[in-house]
Amino acid sequence: MTIRVLLADDQALLRATFRILIDSCDDMTVVAEAANGNEAVAAAREYRPDVVVMDIRMPGMDGLAATAAICRDEELAATRVLILTTFEIDEYVARALRVGASGFLGKDVEADGLLAAVRTVAAGEALLSPAATRALIAQFIAIPEPTATAAANHAALDALTAREREVMILAAEGHSNQEIAAKLVISPLTARTHVHRAMAKLDARDRAQLVVIAYQTGLLHSSPPE
């Protein structure tokens, strides 16, 4: 299946470069471009892309607001947002993860890294393993937020089985299904099933949201970034 991509960045040259790169792959294609957040939201609703590659700092509606609008739109539940930013350690990126983004990359990413990231996010996985992301999570996402959503997440944790909690913690620590399976002596398919059941019970869009919930509810405690 071809991965449909929407590029949202105020730099036309960068969009053109990414379009050439993505369109050169047999398994993905760029379906639309946007120069600001308003255009990104409108294009997402029109083209229903699988992945939005979203810059944060754009004129008018920025990428953070656009990400929030896309992720709360029930008709775009299948659309994932991949944040692309000049600043890898940036509070705005953490806020984007809170509102539903599936991960982020620095704009200095290599071509193969960008393509791999699009595929990872399109598959419903979280792009949260780099050291910079761990530091970002520890610094920002772990800060408690006394919101109704956080309270609901705390209550929803009670619905998880002991195994689902165990798998959720390992997933939030950045382990793949294969790594989780090896640690718990279960099959990768069983690990994947537990992850998806936890996502369903917590109403999480993907593994990235499991990470956010794990930290915000205290299920997983952060340590200061090195």
Q: Would residue 123 count as lying in a domain?
A: yes
41 and 89 both lie in a single domain: yes
Per-residue pLDDT tens digits for 39-60: 999 999 999 999 999 998 899 9
Residues 117, 157 within the same domain: no
pTM above 0.75, yes or no: no
Task: Calculate the average pLDDT of the chain.
Answer: 83
Residue position matching structure tokens 């989780």: 180
Position 217 confidence tier, pLDDT thresholds 50, 70, 90: confident
Residue 204: domain span: 144-216
Determine, yes or no, domain membership for 68. Answer: yes
Whether residues 40 and 122 fall in one domain:
yes
Q: Is residue 137 part of a domain?
A: no
User: Can you give the CATH number for the domain in which 199 is found?
Assistant: 1.10.10.10
Whether the per-residue pLDDT at 215 is higher than 70: the answer is yes
SS3 of residue 42 by DSSP: helix
Q: Give domain status of residue 223, yes or no.
A: no
Domain at 106, CATH number: 3.40.50.2300
pLDDT at residue 159 greater than cutoff 60: yes
Strand arrangement of the beta sheet that strand 80-85 belongs to:
28-34, 3-8, 51-55, 80-85, 103-106
Per-residue pLDDT for 133 more than 60? Answer: no
Same domain, 89 and 165: no
> Same domain for 105 and 194?
no
Confidence of residue 216 (pLDDT cuts 50, 70, 90): confident
The distance of Cα 39 from the centroid of its chain, to the nearest Å, equals: 20
Please say whether the beta carbons of 54 and 10 come within 8 A.
no
Q: Does any domain span residue 41?
A: yes
Domain count, the chain: 2
Find which of 13-27, 95-109, 200-214 is predicted with most confidence, using mean pLDDT. Answer: 13-27
138 assigned to some structural domain: no
Tell me, what's the pLDDT at 193?
93
Within this chain, do residues 71 and 164 fall inside the same structural domain, yes or no? no
